[in-house]
Structure 1
Amino acid sequence: MTDTTSYLDTARRVIAIEAQALTELGAALGPEFDAAVDLMLSATGRVIVSGMGKSGHIARKIAATLASTGTPAHFVHPAEASHGDLGMMAQGDVALVLSNSGETPELADVIAYTRRFAIPMIGVASNATSTLIRQSDVGLILPRAAEACGTGVVPTSSTTMTLALGDALAVALMEHRRFTPEHFREFHPGGKLGAQLSRVRDLMHDGAALPLVTGATAMPEVLIEISQKGFGVVGVTDAGGALCGIITDGDLRRHMQGLLEHSAAEVMTRAPTTIAPGALAEEAVAVMNARKITCLFVVAPEGDGAPLGLLHIHDCLRVGLG
């Protein structure tokens, strides 16, 4: 670095230049963006995304984002396309082709194939008169913003704009399809994000695994139920089957004197904290942390109060929450 600049100065300059490029991109978008979204929505097949070099890396990410948000999509490498992968495209698909110059030679066969078989094509380039844009059914023009490298030759601002444009297309399609977090989880069940979108019903224990007794149950039987089910807790139901209490280790200690002479109703803590089956598991973790408890009985808020399941903190930790 020079005496007057630092690495931090360079970082801030690069980010400022790319931020300005994104501002210019937003201002430059027009009706052709709507046309591109409509073209993708009309596809009965997939969105085939292609690009070479840095545009290819961006194309892969755009295809992945589309696929994970409800728009079937696939990346096709233009060089591989010329050696057989053109067969991955078919009528009913829509092609989204990326090239900053619009004259990338490796894209020639992809472009020709879409024209030959009437596959609609959306072109993304910075040159409105380029071959790619002229051949496209819809052309999305990137503004000629300065590259952040200072020399104008390293794809920086241009790739950032293309990436943002792909995100804009994906989100527009999401909103039209009313794509929800639950839908997203279906495409992305693994990892931290999938865990955050888990519902209580996905993790809870139910059926025979549920530790339950009635209020009239004698404490010796209650202790057996707690021991057999292994959660260190038991739910207590009333005559109508609704959850009316819970017995924990703390309740046992508080009633140690003559414990075995009591019934469950005499030992239980009334009105226990519960969670709905449709709540996010992350919300259940927050409740358990706030109340300093390790499990929650699951009760439908619109139901008859009957316990549907039990969620333990260990179930949440197992999937990466907590």
Structure 2
Amino acid sequence: MKKTVDPLSSVTQALTHFQNGLGQMQEALSSPDLSAAVAGAADLIFNMKGRLILSGIGKSGHIARKLAATFASTGTPAFFVHASEASHGDLGMIQGDDVLLLLSWSGETREMADIIAYGIRFDVPIIGITGRTGSTLASKSRFPLVLPKAAEACPHNLAPTTSTLLQLAMGDALAVTLLQMRGFTEESFRNFHPGGKLGSALMPVRDIMHKGDELPLVPLDAPVIEVISEISAKGFGIVGMQNADGSLAGVITDGDIRRYLESNASGTLQSVIGEARAGMLMTKGGITIEPDRLCARALNVMQTKRITAAFVMEADRPVGLITVHQLLQMGVA
């Protein structure tokens, strides 16, 4: 029989447990023991010659597997080894210049015994993330990261919920710390994340920009009719006006054309379109983008400035064109 539960109230209570647990962890970080262990762990991982090996069992194992992916994608070579499989041959994956990051909330997980013993025997340094100060994992770790015993969100205080959140938070915080220590840049992210939306967002504009004959460009002294023709032919809603040396003097958009025609509605067609020169309508300079600017940043600039297209400039000359529609179509957001 289904028990009547108020979902909103239940979720709110769980979130309160999580907030309290994270608050306790922040307070614990002010203690000399934990703060020194965190700093030592970060330095140990940063200076290692090998890889960061993460392991755990049950819910801690799932967290360890996720953390291995986070470390690996942010510049720290890392992979997950299942503690049970380690006892059946996978210990051979662990080398002397590696570092072990082991997760066990109790610190007494039976399946972890062999990997802990292996680390001690072959002098592979151990960092332990646990919830018990006097546990086997804490005592065998070079840097024990002992987290506070926060109450689980489970009403029976049994299902790993708050505890796994704290393990995840500590591991992610270490990964972010190492990212900063390595000077890991957006370009570095692009190297590790070439696929999906993140890959598109971190791609430089030069890789996707329209270029060559696709560019809508006319001379600075071109007649307005030529500008209209170029806008229609290229379909970007914008035309670049070039000086004699090829540099960009300014831009004209289809909106500029409409406003010009509206303000000169009383003139003859020959005088308004046939005789007028483009320089009379253009906006000098305009908003431009550098070729190496990341697509995500280019989109932010264009949306902030409320423009739909921008020329890509190199040495004062237009070498490409990028549009908001193009970026959104690629999944950049």
Task: State the TM-score bracket (shorter-chain normalisation).
Answer: 0.7 to 0.9
What residue number does 1:314 align with? 325
What residue number does 2:309 align with? 295
Instruction: Give TM-score scaled by structure 2 length.
Output: 0.82
Residue deviations 1:88-122, cap 9 Å, x none? 22222111000111121222222222223222111
Q: Supply the AA of the counterpart residue of 2:117.
A: A
What residue number does 1:161 align with? 166
What residue number does 1:276 align with? 289
What residue number does 1:14 align with? 14
* 2:186 maps to 1:181: yes
Paired residues of 2:250 and 2:286 also in contact (CA < 8 A): no
Paired residues of 1:49 and 1:75 also in contact (CA < 8 A): yes
- Residues 106 and 298 (structure 1 numbering): CA distance in 2 closer, same or farther, change over 3 Å? same
Q: Quote how far apart the aligned CAs of 1:289 are.
A: 4.6
> Bigger shift: 160-169 or 186-195?
186-195
Residue deviations 1:222-242, cap 9 Å, x none? 677667655454322112322
Paired residues of 1:67 and 1:73 also in contact (CA < 8 A): yes
Q: Supply the AA of the counterpart residue of 1:88.
A: M
Residue deviations 1:44-102, cap 9 Å, x none? 12111111000011101111111122111111111222233222222221110001111
1:59 to 64, 71, 90: 64
Paired residues of 2:238 and 2:254 also in contact (CA < 8 A): yes
Q: Quote how far apart the aligned CAs of 1:267 are.
A: 6.5
- Residues 111 and 196 (structure 1 numbering): CA distance in 2 closer, same or farther, change over 3 Å? same
**How many residue pairs end up in the alignment?**
318
Gaps of 5+ in 2: 29-33, 262-267
Gaps of 5+ in 1: none
* 2:150 maps to 1:137: no
> Bigger shift: 265-274 or 253-262?
253-262
- Residues 134 and 284 (structure 1 numbering): CA distance in 2 closer, same or farther, change over 3 Å? closer
What residue number does 1:74 align with? 79
Using the alignment, how far apart are the partners of 1:293 and 1:25 within structure 2? 45
Paired residues of 2:238 and 2:251 also in contact (CA < 8 A): yes
Q: Supply the AA of the counterpart residue of 1:33.
A: V
2:112 to 100, 107, 118: 107
Using the alignment, how far apart are the partners of 1:104 and 1:283 within structure 2? 46
1:35 to 40, 44, 47: 40
Q: Supply the AA of the counterpart residue of 1:275.
A: T
Using the alignment, how far apart are the partners of 1:251 and 1:152 within structure 2? 66
Instruction: Give TM-score scaled by structure 1 length.
Output: 0.84
SS in 2 for 1:30: helix
User: Equivalent pairs: percent with the same residue?
Assistant: 47
1:191 to 153, 176, 196: 196
> Bigger shift: 291-300 or 88-97?
291-300
Paired residues of 2:127 and 2:144 also in contact (CA < 8 A): yes
Residue deviations 1:183-207, cap 9 Å, x none? 2233223333444444433432234
Q: CA RMSD in A?
A: 3.1
Using the alignment, how far apart are the partners of 1:317 and 1:123 within structure 2? 43
Paired residues of 2:302 and 2:324 also in contact (CA < 8 A): yes
What residue number does 1:243 align with? 248
- Residues 291 and 95 (structure 1 numbering): CA distance in 2 closer, same or farther, change over 3 Å? closer
